[in-house]
Structure 1
């Protein structure tokens, strides 16, 4: 029997492991939010495990890109966009295009996230107060306004880190709920193996989901923010080995969590022919495990993921601008307040027009892929310059990974254009 002291020391070791996990935790925070949960559940319910190969490649290339951007920061001591502006011939234009592209994608995503979060709160309220059902639009819009105003005020008082810690716990609970349900709702092993064979579903919306998958898993914001988080951790050129392990661990965890969510949706919904189109449909994913508690458990987790995604989405534009200026992100500056205020107003467009937040969320992930080739090309040029990298030579396998990810990003971007043409 383990003594209470042994239990305490095991708990201390576990906490130390979590705290020791470096900037990769931010990569997971950026990558796994409402956007990826929505994309994985919709894909799992529509196509089973058919898109597992896209997820695997996206996570593999994400690991390579996190490693390359992290190494660049440790060796040069510079942030990414400032480096582009300083060292590359058309770097200034490239950096500005990246800022505009990522901000557009993230603000679109913010619209979907806010819509989903407000809809979740409406569903919880409607379950208890049936009189609200005829006033869905008004309730969702008022809820969205209250949420975004609260988050804007929290950002102005700089309480981000405190709330991030709480929201990370919520997202962890959501992840655990999907792992638990996977024990009950297992996909067929044959489906998993088949999912690793590259195919694009030849149905309406198939191309769109492939692009959304890459947009949410190979998120440009994750790589560009990597140098800032690596520097924030206090790592130097002595931590190159640690940085490599951190990148690999983050990529593996993103794959495992995302694949688990997809597998649960495939096992619970795909073979029954149930497809997720509305926010309430997503709760069906947990129904085989939790029964009547499904709605509450899932909504609590999805709401937590949504709220934890609002902070990074609001932060990304001022973060990229600060990176470009090579300054420190000052949350008290006038620039910060204006940019985040615009982001909050953009976020309300979806709920104001009564748009389906599931569709908005998938669309926003598609837009994210268009800036990806530029982000990859930029880092390829930087890490292969001996002058910039101060004599440090980038390995052959890393370069193969970078060029393969560039080719993959270009194919997916082309696929995204076709998907949007079909959609509109």
Structure 2
């Protein structure tokens, strides 16, 4: 019994000891990511696994360099852009507008999908609820966003971190257990690592959405503030590196699991997902009620773990630009997060398709990415700021490749949006 208790304590300690990387997972794997992975897995099988792998590799390096910059310089990202880069003020303002727009759009889809999923979980066991779907979904959305806003007002980094740890742990376990019940063939996984874009309508948009959700600019820009919130200093450089690597590995593992479940359960039946309800009708016969509920709990946890960081992003970026310090008890913080909460209710109020809104919002996220990469490259190669910790040749090579990748995907996103509208 004692051995079991000490093992449980060690596991809990390991989970709770996770650093700012937990916010990276919260930002990255939300219902936007889950939706993109399910749509990709159910429509194209494992064909887009290579995009996910590259995005996670570049994300890990960007998290690492942004964290390092914060620990060495003592500054946050946008404050550093404003202070050290010519034209940095304009770059910082464009980044704030671009990321806030993308994240608030994403928030609408996240809340819509989360409310739909809670309704679907109830409807699996109480089919009589189907008659009042709109009213139920809207009511659930209002309750969820009100609870989230209430939690935000508590306003402490350690509290936010613990809430996210719970959601992310449930999410990761739910998807990994689902993977053991429904999985694709190994040959499909291997083929998915060979670069190719589906030559069908919506294929380009999904590739852009993939990168927008797994290589999210918000993840990197917010990292310096979360590193500060954790209380890390130059002495934690090694820990910061491990945290960034672990976050990137977990994002890839969880995201690939979701895609694989959708591929194994839906792709071979020729049943692509376009609505939240599609997940119910297609997964239940294959996986059964328990696996379906488990998968839904994972998706719901992904949604709830994303609402938190999405509400935080605008006040984080504004505070970063102003002073490099975030005051979660300020009037500014409360007003901006309240506006974000009201914005989030747009999709549930109008009864729009949250899956379509979610994929569109992820595409918008890629346009700021090149600016975010160029900005940090200029800072970490500045010897006056970084001293002996100036970026190595290998880090610069990966960053140049990530910039090239981001530019190609941004162009791809413009083409996709042009075709959509």
Deviations 1:387-420 (Å, cap 9, x if unpaired)? Answer: 1213432111100011100000000000001111
In structure 2, C-alpha distance between the alignment counterparts of 1:324 and 1:226, rounded to whole Å? 14
**1:226-245 matched pairs, under 5 angstroms:** 226-245=223-242
2:325 is paired with a residue whose SS is coil
Partners of 2:156 and 2:224 in 1: how far apart? Answer: 22
> What secondary structure, in the 3-state scheme, does the structure 1 residue paired with 2:384 have?
coil
2:344 is the alignment partner of 1:347: yes
- From the superposition, tell whether residues 167 and 181 of structure 1 become closer, same or farther in structure 2 (CA, over 3 Å): same
Establish whether residue 148 from structure 1 lines up as the match of residue 145 from structure 2.
Answer: yes
After TM superposition, list the pairs within 5 Å mapping 1:129-148 onto structure 2.
130=127, 132-148=129-145
User: Residue 160 of structure 1: CA displacement?
Assistant: 7.5
Deviations 1:194-240 (A, max 9, x none): 11111100111101110111011001111011111222222222222
Using the TM superposition, name which of 380-389 and 237-246 deviates more.
Answer: 237-246
What is the CA–CA distance in structure 2 between the aligned matches of 1:299 and 1:163, rounded to whole Å?
23
- CA contact 1:283–1:298 (8 Å) conserved in 2: no
How far 1:174 sits from its partner (Å)?
Answer: 3.0
Contact 2:266/2:283 (<8 A) preserved: no
- State the Cα distance separating 1:325 from its structure 2 match: 1.3
With 318-327 and 89-98 compared, the bigger mean Cα shift is at 318-327
Structure 2 residue 315 is the aligned partner of structure 1 residue 280: no
Following superposition, the deviation at residue 254 of structure 1 comes to 0.9
Instruction: Map Cα deviations across residues 80-127 of structure 1 (whole Å, 9 max, x no partner).
Output: 010000000010011111111110010001000111112123334445
Query: SS at the partner of 1:390?
Result: helix
Q: Which range is displaced more, 389-398 or 15-24? A: 15-24
Q: Which residue of 1 aligns with 2:190?
A: 193
Q: 1:66 aligns with which of 55, 63, 67?
A: 63
Distance between the aligned counterparts of 1:141 and 1:317, measured in 2?
Answer: 24
**What SS is found at the alignment partner of 1:269?**
helix
303, 306, 327: which one pairs with 1:330?
A: 327
Q: Output the CA distance in 1 between the equivalents of 2:287 and 2:264.
A: 15
* TM-fit CA distance, 1:29: 1.8
Query: In the alignment, which of 413, 416, 420 is matched to residue 410 of structure 2?
Result: 413
Q: Is 1:261 matched with 2:246?
A: no
Q: Give the CA deviation at 1:320.
A: 0.9
Q: Distance in 2 between matches of 1:246 and 1:104?
A: 28
Q: Is the 8 A contact 1:126 1:132 kept in 2?
A: yes
Please provide the CA RMSD for this pair.
2.0
For residues 352-371 of structure 1, the aligned pairs below 5 Å read 352-371=349-368
1:154–1:160 Cα contact (<8 Å) kept: no
For structure 2, list consecutive stretches of 5 or more residues without a partner in the other structure: none
The unaligned stretches of length 5 or more in structure 1 are none
Residue in 1 that maps onto 2:315: 318
In structure 2, the CA distance between the partners of 1:285 and 1:178, relative to structure 1 (3 Å rule), is farther
The whole-number CA distance in structure 2 between the counterparts of 1:18 and 1:237 is: 23
- Answering whether residue 269 of structure 2 is matched by residue 303 of structure 1, we say no
Contact 2:156 2:328 in 1 (8 A): no
| 1: CA distance, partners of 2:17 / 2:158 | 17
Q: 1:162 to 1:280 in 2, by over 3 A?
A: farther
- Give the secondary-structure state (helix, strand or coil) at the position aligned to 2:390: coil
Counterpart CA distance in 2 for 1:400 and 1:232 is 30
How do 1:160-239 and structure 2 match up within 5 A? Answer: 162=159, 165-166=162-163, 168-239=165-236
Could you tell me how far apart the structure 1 residues matched to 2:17 and 2:333 are?
30
Contact persistence 1:167–1:304 (CA under 8 A): no
Equivalent pair of 2:265/2:286 in contact (CA under 8 Å): no
Correspondence 1:394 to 2:387: no
Structure 1 residue 289, shift from structure 2 partner: 6.6
TM-score by length of 2: 0.94
After superposition, what is the alpha-carbon deviation per residue over 1:271-299, rounded to whole angstroms, capped at 9, x for unaligned?
Answer: 11111111122245753674123443333
Number of residue pairs matched by the alignment: 421
Matched with 1:80 is 77
